[in-house]
């Protein structure tokens, strides 16, 4: 780290990170370490919610243990026993013949409400925008993620967002305003937070609208780049 700081100083360079972190709790390793968020344009206008009269939950996560989409499936199974007006889509890359994905398919098929669950794998990227726009809540139950761009993609489509406390993009969430941060691997905490959102549709819409507002204010390329240049130049 000392060598890295020295090189930054010699080159008059900055080390940029898309993770906001908590400078008060964890002081920055260098004054040349600066926060520069992921950038994206808002992807929807005047969007509607509750397609098909349901609360539609989307989990975008690779079918691997580290990304943990199985936890979202188990959370949905518990929630579905109380809420009949919810549906779940899990979308991710992986091995269609792999044990993780096959176990999830088997788990789904044994359920009496299997028709309310979709397990999509290796979908074309061109269809992702439409998938985001047709859902209301985004969940990433990851066990580890340096910084997931999918959180911001979901926000840019006006979704309420949930990710875990080990995702670097958790700093993009204002808890209780556009989503929640859950404890990684904690099924009951995930259920609790998703339940808080789905049981109040008016609040869910306000979460989604807040996500869009945050993208416009904090992640719009032109605005953020201009502010960053002023900061560095100043």
Q: How much is the pLDDT for 34?
A: 76
Q: Is residue 90 part of a domain?
A: yes
In this structure, the answer to whether residues 141 and 105 fall within a common structural domain is: yes
Q: Is residue 11 part of a domain?
A: yes
Tell me the pLDDT of the chain averaged across its residues.
Answer: 90
Please report, for residues 133, 161, 205, the alpha-carbon distance to residue 46 in angstroms, rounded to integers and kept in the order given.
Answer: 11, 18, 12
Q: How much is the pLDDT for 19?
A: 83
- Examine the pLDDT at 23 and tell me if it is beyond 70: no
- Average pLDDT for 175-203: 97
pLDDT digits (tens, 9 = 90+) for 81-115: 999 999 999 999 999 999 999 999 999 999 999 99
Q: How much is the pLDDT for 39?
A: 94
Alpha-helix runs per DSSP H in 142-220: 149-156, 187-198, 201-218
Q: How much is the pLDDT for 25?
A: 55
What letters, b where the CB count within 10 A reaches 16 and e where it falls short, cover 46-61? ebebeeeebbbbbbbb
pLDDT digits (tens, 9 = 90+) for 25-34: 555 555 667 7
* Angle, CA of 159, 111 and 127, to the nearest 5°: 35
Q: How much is the pLDDT for 230?
A: 73
Q: Is residue 91 part of a domain?
A: yes
User: What order do you get walking across the sheet with 55-60 strand by strand?
Assistant: 117-121, 86-92, 55-60, 137-139, 160-164, 179-182
In this structure, the answer to whether residues 7 and 22 fall within a common structural domain is: yes
Please report, for residues 65, 68, 104, 186, the alpha-carbon distance to residue 100 in angstroms, rounded to integers and kept in the order given.
Answer: 8, 10, 6, 19
Quick one: which of 145, 166, 186 has its CA closest to 60? 145
Task: Give me the CATH number covering residue 175.
Answer: 3.40.50.2000
In this structure, the answer to whether residues 140 and 177 fall within a common structural domain is: yes
In this structure, the answer to whether residues 83 and 126 fall within a common structural domain is: yes
In this structure, the answer to whether residues 128 and 156 fall within a common structural domain is: yes
Q: Is residue 46 part of a domain?
A: no
Contact 18, 53 (CB under 8 A): no
In this structure, the answer to whether residues 13 and 97 fall within a common structural domain is: no
pLDDT level of residue 136 (50, 70, 90 thresholds): very high
In this structure, the answer to whether residues 78 and 191 fall within a common structural domain is: yes
Q: Provide the domain limits for residue 33.
A: 2-38+221-233
- Examine the pLDDT at 193 and tell me if it is beyond 70: yes
In this structure, the answer to whether residues 93 and 206 fall within a common structural domain is: yes
Cα–Cα dist 181/173, whole Å: 7
pLDDT level of residue 199 (50, 70, 90 thresholds): very high
Q: Is residue 44 part of a domain?
A: no
- Average pLDDT for 56-78: 98
Q: Is residue 164 part of a domain?
A: yes
In this structure, the answer to whether residues 94 and 209 fall within a common structural domain is: yes
In this structure, the answer to whether residues 124 and 179 fall within a common structural domain is: yes
Strand partners, 55: 86
Number of domains in the chain: 2
- Examine the pLDDT at 208 and tell me if it is beyond 60: yes
Quick one: which of 112, 124, 64, 61 has its CA closest to 89? 61
Q: How much is the pLDDT for 180?
A: 98
Q: Is residue 166 part of a domain?
A: yes
pLDDT digits (tens, 9 = 90+) for 28-53: 555 667 778 899 999 999 999 999 99
Q: Is residue 43 part of a domain?
A: no
In this structure, the answer to whether residues 201 and 96 fall within a common structural domain is: yes
In this structure, the answer to whether residues 200 and 104 fall within a common structural domain is: yes
Contact 202, 208 (CB under 8 A): no
């Amino acid at each position: 780290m000392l060598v890295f700081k020295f090189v930054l100083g010699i080159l008059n360079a900055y080390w940029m990170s898309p993770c906001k972190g908590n400078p008060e709790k964890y002081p920055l390793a260098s004054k040349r370490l600066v926060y520069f968020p992921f950038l994206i344009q808002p992807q929807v206008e005047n969007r509607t919610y509750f397609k098909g009269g349901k609360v539609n939950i989307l989990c975008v996560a690779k079918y691997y243990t580290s990304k943990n989409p199985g936890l979202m499936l188990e959370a949905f199974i518990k929630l579905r026993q109380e809420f009949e007006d919810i549906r779940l889509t899990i979308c991710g890359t992986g091995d269609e013949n792999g044990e993780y994905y096959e176990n999830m398919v088997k788990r789904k098929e044994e359920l009496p409400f299997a028709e309310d669950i979709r397990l999509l794998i290796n979908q074309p990227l061109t269809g992702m925008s439409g998938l985001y726009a047709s859902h209301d809540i985004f969940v990433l139950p990851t066990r580890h993620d340096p910084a997931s761009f999918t959180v911001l993609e979901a926000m840019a489509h006006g979704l309420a967002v949930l990710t875990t406390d080990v995702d670097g993009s958790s700093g993009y969430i204002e808890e209780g305003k556009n989503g929640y941060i859950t404890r990684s691997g904690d099924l009951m905490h995930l259920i609790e937070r998703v339940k808080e959102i789905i049981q109040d549709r008016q609040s869910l819409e306000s979460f989604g609208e807040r996500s869009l507002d945050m993208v416009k204010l904090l992640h719009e390329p032109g605005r953020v780049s201009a502010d960053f240049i002023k900061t560095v130049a100043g």
